[in-house]
Structure formats: structure tokens, C-alpha cells
Amino acid sequence: MTTHTLPDGRPLPLLTGAERPMLESWLDYHRATLEMKCRGLDAAQVRLPSAEPSALTLLGLVQHLAEVERNWFQRVVAGLDLPPVFEEPTGYALDPRRGLDEAVAVWRREIARGRELCAGRSLDATGRIAEGPMAGIEVGLRWVFIHLIEEYARHNGHADILRERIDGVTGV
């Protein structure tokens, strides 16, 4: 199986092939898109909110998606009892001491740990949602991959708007 990259360095998602590699490639594409949207910005720029009344920032999105990675792959799929990645459960709150480099490193660590825990699991493997309105519901790993692709795609749309507001850069 050959992997290709786009001119901006992101991996091109698989267009043919088996389901698992295709799902993983689409998730990797969206992860790389988020990272690309943050590239080249300074500390003030990644803290710039999109539009009032929203306090959404690129730094907040990276923190939130670190929590999303931990929640779905480690808590739900692997059944681990773990605290929030950051002090706020959503990860959107900005700590003036935390910069983008630290948040990206934490986010990458959460991605790596999720990959480790899912590596030997079938797409039919199940986990259980522990908290929130769906607590107790069983979900399959396939569903988790699809949900995370959707979650990243939605937040990458937010990242597009944020990046355009910051410096005018547009595009996927």
C-alpha cells in the first residue's frame, strides 16, 4: 500500500483499500489538518478568539482534541479510568502558562497512546461510554473512528475560520 502526501505535507487519505487503514488514514489526515492550521503562528495568534461571544481559539481546539483522543480511545475503547488531560474537562480554557508547543506535545502523546491501545483490536471490538448522556452505551471501535473523523472535520472547519481571521490564510 503506497501512501502519498499533499503539497502541504499532509498525508493523502486512502482512496481504495481495506476499511481499517482507510479509517486510520482519514483520521490522520484530519489530525494533520489541525496541526497545519496552527503552523507558523505565535502565542498571541493561537489565543485569538474567532468571533464574539465565542472564546474558541486554535490553542483551545488543540487542547480539546487532546481530551477527545483520551476520552474515546483510552476511556471508552480501553476502559481506562483517567483524569482530564487538562484541568478543564473540555480543554478549551486557556492557561497563560501553556503554549502551543506544550499543547501539541500533549495532543500527540494522547494520539500515540490511543494508537497503542487500539493496535490489536478489531473494528468490531467494543467499549462502553462511562459518562454523560450516553453513559452505559456500548460502542464499537469502528464507530469511534467514524466519530473522531467527524469531530476533527467539524473542528477543522472552526480552525479554517480562526486561521482566516488571524492572518487571512484560507484553504483546506
CB-count burial class (<10 Å; 0-12, 13-18, 19+) for 92:
middle
pLDDT of residue 1 exceeding 90, the answer is no
Residue 58 belongs to a domain: yes
Q: In this structure, are residues 104 and 35 in contact, taking their beta carbons and an 8 Å threshold?
A: yes
Residue 110 lies in a domain: yes
How many beta carbons lie within 10 A of that of residue 122, not counting itself? 11
Q: Is residue 16 part of a domain?
A: no
13-67, pLDDT tens digit by residue?
A: 999 999 999 999 999 999 999 999 999 999 999 999 988 888 899 999 999 999 9
Say which residues have a Cβ less than 8 Å from residue 42's Cβ, sequence separation at least 6: none
- What's the domain range around 99? 41-119+130-167
Q: What is the mean pLDDT of residues 134-150?
A: 97
Query: Which residue from 132, 44, 47 is spatially nearest to 93, judged by alpha carbons?
Result: 47
Tens of pLDDT, residue by residue over 76-118, are 999 999 999 987 766 777 887 889 999 999 999 999 999 999 9
pLDDT of residue 170: 85
Q: Is 45 among the domain residues?
A: yes
**Domain total in the chain:** 1
C-alpha grid cell, residue 172: 483546506
For residue 138, tell me if it sits in a domain.
yes
ω into 21 cis (within 30 of 0)? no
Cα–Cα–Cα angle for 80, 85, 12, nearest 5°?
90
In the chain, which residue ranges form alpha helices assigned H by DSSP?
19-38, 58-69, 100-118, 141-167
Q: Is residue 64 in a domain?
A: yes
